[in-house]
Amino acid sequence: MRVITGTARGRRLKTLEGDSVRPTTDKVKESIFNIVQFEIEGRRVLDMFCGCGQLGIEALSRGAASAVFVDISRASIQVTEENLEATGFRNISKTVLGDSLSYLDRTSEMFDIAFLDPPYRAGLMNEAIERVRLHIADGGVIVCETASEEVLPEVIDGFTSKRYKYGKIALTVYRKEF
């Protein structure tokens, strides 16, 4: 897996092995960044359930000002930190080892873009959306990656939504109104 474009373009990212990990495919990652391409520069990013950190790192490579990476897995945070070092983004990022939902309850930080990619069929997405929406700045975006059969709310108070389908994967993008 590589960084698609920006200052770290072409840089290989480490990932974890095994059935418990499901990195975002290059096709879906490219689609995500085509959708939000004009909303990244200078923005604050949250990468929840970050895995190896590839979505947040891609945003940093494309000019995001900062990123916070949260994952409950020590191995995921370790590989994310290695990827941040390798791409040169360690100084504009923060990693948090812990439950993503609990992090949202504790933090007062606001974000412009949040990437949500919890383990599929774990029942975490709706609760994650409900909590993260309170930390999204006006004009901000929440990008949710799910299995295509998973149903997410079409309406969230103060947000508009659009759904995109890519085979077995779906993206739901919520934009916070000004």
* Parallel, antiparallel or unpaired: strands 159-166 and 66-71: unpaired
Q: pLDDT-based confidence at 122, cuts 50/70/90? A: confident
Q: Is 11 contained in some domain? A: no
Whole-number Å distance between alpha carbons of 76 and 153:
28
Q: What is the pLDDT of residue 19?
A: 55
What is the per-residue pLDDT for 120? Answer: 75
Residue 103 lies in a domain: yes
Encode pLDDT of 62-121 as tens digits: 999 999 999 999 999 999 999 999 999 999 999 999 999 999 999 999 999 999 999 877
Q: Which two tokens stand for residue 35?
A: 């959708």
Domain that holds residue 123: 26-176
Structurally, the chain folds into a number of domains equal to 1
Classify residue 45: in a domain, yes or no. yes
DSSP per residue, 150-162: ----S-BTTEEEE
Indicate which CATH number applies to the domain containing 100: 3.40.50.150
> What is the percentage of the chain residues whose pLDDT exceeds 70?
97
Residue at 95: amino acid letter: T
Q: Does 9 map to a domain? A: no
Residue in the structure block whose two tokens are 């975002």: 24
Residue 102 belongs to a domain:
yes
User: Does residue 168 belong to any structural domain of this protein?
Assistant: yes
pLDDT, residue 20, reads 56
